[in-house]
């Protein structure tokens, strides 16, 4: 089987600068060919050969999992695109400003035909520095978009004062602990900041600043937050696996995303997992390097998550 | 076909397709391939009705091929020099096409469903969500439409609202039994759903490890062969309750998923194409198997197979552009 096609999902609240970023990606001299999937009622003027209009049809999966939704149109479009191999190297999906990113992300976990041919490279969220505060207050979508992001672009930084920008960044961090943040004017970021991120390569969650781990729940009354855990030593998979599966089943509707790199006892390889709501996906990836400290790190992003309960439960899974 | 160790591999004549085979068939007895890169091969001829654009969906009967492209166009091809444009949906992808009685055709893009009768009159209906699959009833001018949370049954020539049968989930392909008593849809959730049309009684046909995207009725109409499992799963439809309470037959069990099925037009023999490019013929009565084509890693899955009218030849194509014609001894 050939390489899976990387898919970048571009989200962001209305007017944040998504289309500007998209056009920037498309017009840079990178020699890459993109297939772009945009909302058919969205903005026009996208400078690309292969643009497909999508109608953002969200389907519930009739599988007993209430929060398991997929984008039916995306499944169809990706299936159609894959019949024309060689026409493009990567796919970019632009969602509408009000879209919940969960169904888009879940499509890449749930649908076998999609996941066998394409992989979610990263969710990139563009944030309007000037209006974020209001949007977080008014729109749950804005929060979810930040929570889901692997990369966050705080845009229009020229329109706010430095202290306001610092505040915006703190708010973003409070929601999402692990995303890479870029601060831009006119969505001007280098291409490699948004493409080829490989969301499954979760190494950067190991880089979360320690002070942040303590900081998360202190300020800002946002209802979506990150809980990051760092457990030195090994985890017992026979305890952890049943717990995480039960936890995501029970708390699934509240968990927007979770990710982790685990050190299992007597396992030379790192166990890497990530999930969206109730859907979990994990496998053993590369081996721990000799000079690497064996430890387990994970991040849960969601609503109403009980930090101390999660800490206690994970602590109980230590080998 | 008595000896299970027999092989038909030497009786396969390869065809040069060179692109994902969307549909394989016979047009006026000539081998026919509709390819994702936009080409249509009819015997020795190459046609490009959609220009450089992709063919996304296609279907054929012995006298015509209908293609739908990512250019939003729908073409009918009745011979290598008779190509007619039936529709133009202004660049919107064509999601499904179907052939009906008396030269009627239907296609859909998003929620928009268009039925075109043999005289060229078109009627339009807007489905409640994207129309993912279309099929005409075997008799009469009536169209079944698979969509989210159920299927609708539409008489294009009457004003009334289409009849709606509800079943939660996303319905993909749709097919009617040859006697018109049953309708079956394949679903996103790796299952089939059916209704008895007379009273709307539900039928669940589950247990598939992946989606069923190929469905084929036996010539007598008593059996429905389906893809999606490690064998062709064949449901009995002879009795008045259809497959309810009965176990399906499994033919051609291998360590690879079935991607395409096609019943022989005269005998209870089903051609089974797999995701690894292998093709078997399997006789329903005693499960005897004949190898048509060995697995071939580079070929990807078999995407389409069809028999000619008499059942003397079978054409197939794969996602990586290999194709061929089997001629039975």
Residue numbers in B near A62 (CB within 8 A): 168-170, 187-189
Handedness of CA A206, A209, A213, A216 (dihedral sign): negative
Domain final residue pick, A154, A173, A199: A199
Residue numbers in A near B259 (CB within 8 A): none
- For chain A, where are the alpha helices, taking DSSP H only? 18-27, 72-82, 101-110, 112-117, 132-138, 140-148, 162-175, 210-215, 237-251, 307-315
- How many residues can be counted in chain B? 329
Residues A67 and A21 in one domain: yes
Evaluate if residue B170 carries a pLDDT over 90. yes
Handedness of CA B135, B139, B142, B148 (dihedral sign): negative
CB B103 within 8 A of CB B78: no
How many domains does one find in chain A?
A: 2
Q: How far apart are CA B63 and CA B78, in angstroms?
A: 6
- Which among B56, B169, B211 has CB closest to A62? B169
Evaluate if residue A275 carries a pLDDT over 90. no
Helix (H) or strand (E) holding B280: strand B279-283
Domain final residue pick, A175, A199, A223: A199
pLDDT for the residue A276: 86
Contacts 24+ apart (CB under 8 A), B234-242: B234/B270, B234/B284, B235/B192, B235/B205, B237/B177, B237/B181, B237/B182, B241/B196, B241/B201, B242/B177, B242/B181, B242/B182, B242/B194, B242/B196, B242/B203
Q: How far apart are CA A41 and CA B306, in angstroms?
A: 39
pLDDT band at A203 (very low <50, low <70, confident <90, very high): low
- How many residues can be counted in chain A? 319
3-state secondary structure of B254: coil
Evaluate if residue A210 carries a pLDDT over 50. no
Q: How far apart are CA A317 and CA A238, in angstroms?
A: 8
Contact B130 A55 (CB under 8 A): yes
Indicate which CATH number applies to the domain containing A295.
3.30.1220.10
Q: Which residue of A has its CA nearest to B129?
A: A57
Indicate which CATH number applies to the domain containing A29.
3.40.50.300
pLDDT for the residue A100: 86
Residues A195 and A210 in one domain: no
List for chain A the helix, strand, coil content (%; round to 5). 35, 30, 35
Q: How far apart are CA A65 and CA A231, in angstroms?
A: 30
CB A259 within 8 A of CB A270: no
Q: How far apart are CA B260 and CA B257, in angstroms?
A: 9
Smallest CA–CA distance, residue B267 to chain A, in Å, is: 33
pLDDT for the residue B128: 96
CB A124 within 8 A of CB A154: no
Q: Which range is least confidently modeled, A36-45, A81-90, A129-138, B27-36?
A: A36-45
Name the average pLDDT for chain A: 84
Residues A185 and A300 in one domain: no
Name the average pLDDT for chain B: 95
Residues A195 and A215 in one domain: no
Q: How far apart are CA A198 and CA A37, in angstroms?
A: 19
Contact A83 B20 (CB under 8 A): yes
Structure tokens at A303: 């609503």
Residues A284-304, mean pLDDT to the nearest whole number: 87
Residues A208 and A193 in one domain: no
pLDDT for the residue A199: 59
Query: C-alpha angle A96/A99/A100, rounded to 5°?
Result: 155
Residue in B23, B18, B24 with CA at minimum distance from that of residue B37: B18
Contact A84 B95 (CB under 8 A): no
Residue in B288, B277, B253 with CA at minimum distance from that of residue B14: B277
- ipTM of predicted complex: 0.91
pLDDT for the residue A40: 65
pLDDT band at A85 (very low <50, low <70, confident <90, very high): confident
What separation, in Å, do the N-terminal and C-terminal C-alpha atoms of chain A show? 37
Residues A29 and A86 in one domain: yes
Smallest CA–CA distance, residue B288 to chain A, in Å, is: 31
Which letter does DSSP use for residue B79 in this model? E
pLDDT for the residue A222: 52
Contact B188 A112 (CB under 8 A): no
Residues A149 and A185 in one domain: yes
Q: How far is CA B322 from the centre of its chain?
A: 19
* Rg (chain B; Cα; Å): 19
pLDDT for the residue A1: 39
Residues A243 and A295 in one domain: yes
Evaluate if residue A205 carries a pLDDT over 60. no
Evaluate if residue A281 carries a pLDDT over 50. yes
pLDDT for the residue A215: 42
Q: How far apart are CA A6 and CA A121, in angstroms?
A: 5
Smallest CA–CA distance, residue B228 to chain A, in Å, is: 11
Residues A23 and A55 in one domain: yes
The parent domain of residue A114 ranges over 5-199
Place of tokens 């429905």: B224
Q: How far is CA A42 from CA A39, A98, A152, B127, in A?
A: 5, 11, 21, 22
Evaluate if residue A289 carries a pLDDT over 70. yes
Residue numbers in A near B92 (CB within 8 A): 53
Structure tokens at B279: 């093709």
pLDDT band at A214 (very low <50, low <70, confident <90, very high): very low
Residues A9 and A123 in one domain: yes
Structure tokens at B123: 């009627």
Q: Are strands B45-47 and B40-42 parallel, antiparallel or unpaired?
A: antiparallel
Q: Which residue of B has its CA nearest to A80?
A: B56
Residues A291 and A149 in one domain: no
pLDDT for the residue A207: 56
Query: C-alpha angle B120/B122/B128, rounded to 5°?
Result: 155
Q: What are phi and psi of B257, to 5 degrees?
A: -80, 145
Q: What are phi and psi of B266, to 5 degrees?
A: -130, -20
Residues 6+ apart with CB under 8 A from B126: B111, B112, B113
Domain final residue pick, A199, A230, A255: A199
Smallest CA–CA distance, residue A128 to chain B, in Å, is: 32
pLDDT for the residue A41: 54
Residue in B320, B321, B70, B109 with CA at minimum distance from that of residue A49: B70
Residues A34 and A98 in one domain: yes
């Amino acid at each position: 089987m050939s390489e899976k096609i990387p898919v970048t999902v571009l989200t962001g609240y209305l007017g944040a600068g998504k289309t500007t970023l998209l056009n920037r990606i498309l017009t840079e001299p990178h020699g890459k060919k993109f297939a772009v999937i945009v909302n058919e009622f969205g903005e026009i003027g996208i400078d690309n050969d292969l643009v497909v209009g999508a109608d953002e049809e969200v389907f519930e999966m009739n599988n007993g999992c209430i929060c398991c939704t997929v984008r039916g149109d995306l499944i169809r479009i990706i299936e159609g695109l894959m019949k024309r191999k060689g026409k493009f190297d990567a796919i970019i999906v632009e969602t509408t400003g009000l879209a919940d990113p969960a169904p888009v992300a879940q499509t890449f976990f749930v649908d076998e035909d999609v996941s066998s041919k394409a992989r979610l490279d990263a969710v990139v969220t563009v944030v309007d520095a000037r209006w974020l505060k209001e949007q977080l207050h008014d729109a749950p979508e804005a929060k979810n978009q930040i929570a889901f992001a692997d990369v966050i672009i705080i845009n229009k930084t020229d329109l706010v004062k430095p202290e306001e920008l610092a505040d915006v960044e703190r708010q973003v961090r409070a929601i999402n602990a692990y995303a890479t943040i870029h601060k831009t004017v006119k969505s001007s970021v280098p291409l490699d900041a948004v493409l080829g991120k490989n969301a499954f390569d979760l190494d950067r969650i190991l880089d979360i600043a320690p002070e942040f781990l303590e900081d998360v729940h202190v300020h800002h009354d946002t209802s979506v937050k990150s809980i990051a855990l760092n457990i030195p030593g090994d985890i017992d998979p026979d305890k952890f696996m049943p717990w995480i599966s039960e936890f995501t089943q029970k708390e699934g509707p509240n968990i927007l995303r979770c990710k982790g790199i685990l050190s299992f006892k007597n396992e030379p390889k790192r166990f890497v997992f990530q999930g969206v709501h109730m859907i979990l996906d994990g496998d053993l990836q590369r081996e721990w390097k000799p000079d690497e400290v064996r430890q387990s790190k994970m991040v849960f992003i969601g609503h109403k998550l009980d930090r101390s309960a999660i800490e206690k439960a994970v602590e109980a899974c230590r080998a | 076909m008595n000896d299970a160790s027999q092989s038909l591999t030497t009786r396969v004549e390869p065809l040069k397709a060179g692109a994902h085979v969307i549909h394989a068939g016979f047009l006026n007895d000539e081998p026919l391939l509709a390819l994702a890169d936009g080409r249509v091969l009819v015997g020795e001829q190459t046609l490009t009705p959609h220009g450089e654009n992709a063919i996304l969906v296609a279907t054929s009967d012995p006298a015509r091929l209908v293609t739908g492209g990512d250019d939003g166009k729908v073409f009918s091809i009745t011979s290598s020099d008779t190509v007619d444009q039936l529709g133009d949906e202004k660049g919107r992808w064509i999601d499904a096409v179907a052939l009906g009685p008396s030269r009627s055709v239907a296609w859909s893009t998003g929620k928009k469903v268009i039925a075109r009768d043999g005289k060229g009159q078109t009627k339009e209906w807007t489905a409640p969500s994207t129309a993912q699959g279309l099929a005409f009833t075997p008799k009469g001018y009536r169209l079944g439409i698979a969509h989210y949370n159920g299927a609708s049954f539409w008489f294009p020539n009457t004003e009334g609202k289409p009849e709606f049968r509800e079943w939660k989930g996303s319905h993909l392909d749709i097919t009617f039994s040859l006697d018109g008593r049953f309708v079956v849809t394949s679903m996103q959730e790796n299952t089939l759903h059916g209704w008895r049309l007379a009273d709307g009684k539900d039928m669940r046909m589950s247990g598939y490890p992946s989606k069923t995207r190929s469905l084929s009725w036996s010539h007598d109409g008593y059996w429905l062969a389906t893809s999606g499992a490690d064998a062709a799963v064949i449901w009995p439809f002879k009795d008045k309750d259809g497959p309810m309470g009965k176990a399906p037959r499994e033919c051609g069990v291998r360590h690879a998923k079935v991607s395409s099925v096609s019943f022989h037009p005269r005998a209870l023999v089903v051609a089974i194409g797999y995701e690894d490019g292998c093709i078997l013929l399997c006789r329903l009565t005693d499960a005897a198997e004949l190898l048509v084509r060995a697995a071939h890693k580079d070929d990807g899955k078999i995407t389409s197979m069809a028999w000619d009218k008499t059942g003397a030849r079978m054409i197939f194509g794969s996602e990586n552009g290999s194709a061929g014609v089997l001629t039975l001894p």
